[in-house]
Amino acid sequence: MTKTKRVEDPGFGKSSIKNVKRFVNKDGTFNIRHVNNKNSIYTAYTYLVNISWLRFFFLVLLGYIIVNSFFAIIYLLIGVEDLHIENENWFFNFLDAFFFSAQTITTVGYGGMSPTGVLSGIVSTLEALIGLLSFSFITGLLYGRFVKPRSFIAFSDKIIHRPFNDNSAIMFRLMNTKKRIMINPKASVTLSLMKKNGKEYQTNFFNLSVERKQISYLPTTWTIVHEIDDESPFKGYSKKEIKELTGELIILISYFDESFNQEVYQVYSYTLDELIFDVAFKKAFEFDENGITVLDHEKLNATYKLDS
């Protein structure tokens, strides 16, 4: 049905099943569930560097409260009189022990409370060491989060199928969401198609040709176009048949980011059931009265219906 040659497995594996899910999630992560995997400090570091800022600070605060509560309980078991605490209520004793723990772990040491016994001195010394190591680790995480390269490209939530030249084409659009200089953006699009081979299911991969694989800069938007010509794996399929295919477009975008001074990569994907037909993207930017280009981020997904 097509002259397009299959390519080697790009890393996802060719075996498949009938109800196979997408390879790449919308956030660019691989849709893979790991089991029997041994966790390590490097796993925790990777997780803490990549989560949102809100979740990061929540976990830091939660850990801070848990550690200080743990040491406060130890001080209560030792005896709060060793810390110059003399409350009749156990709850206020716990609060004072908690505050002493917070002063010790942060090495603040106001002087209002101090250990007088040998055992409380050993515990507070150990806690101070844990505090130094913990805050050094958190400082490293903060640095890693700030210097980690991040892509600021947004993809259209629609992938469209429309007439193009004397054929038809599949298109999607991406946008520069920040005032960053993106140099030499490149686009690579791989199509995965699941087919039944006897009693088994197999995934075939194709490198899709696009109208432009690279541009010099990306200040506004870029529409990636795959024309369905004689070399396309979609050649010979009707609109309905394309929609019913079990397939996924896996996109890799790379560019040089002047702010990070290095190459930045972003992965995204569309499944073929996300296709919409006979529409076109609306222009996302215009010019104001001073001749300045105005990019409207809300128009990234804007489309209009084509005449039949």
Residue 2 has a pLDDT of 41
Measured at the CA of 139, the angle between CA 133 and CA 143, to 5 degrees, comes to 145
Closest CA to 195 of 23, 13, 16: 16
The reported pTM is: 0.77
For each of the domains in the chain, give its residue range(s) and CATH number, in order of start.
15-33+151-305 (2.60.40.1400), 41-147 (1.10.287.70)
Residue 215 has a pLDDT of 93
pLDDT at 20 over 90: no
Model pLDDT for residues 189-238, shown as the tens digit of each residue: 999 988 877 778 888 899 999 999 999 999 999 999 999 998 899 988 88
Residue 201 has a pLDDT of 83
Distance (Å) of CA 197 to CA 4, 15, 193, 201: 19, 10, 12, 6
Model pLDDT for residues 237-278, shown as the tens digit of each residue: 888 888 888 889 999 999 998 877 889 999 999 999 899 999
* The residue type at 218: L
**DSSP-derived secondary structure letter, 117:** S
Model pLDDT for residues 81-117, shown as the tens digit of each residue: 877 777 778 888 888 889 889 999 988 877 777 788 8
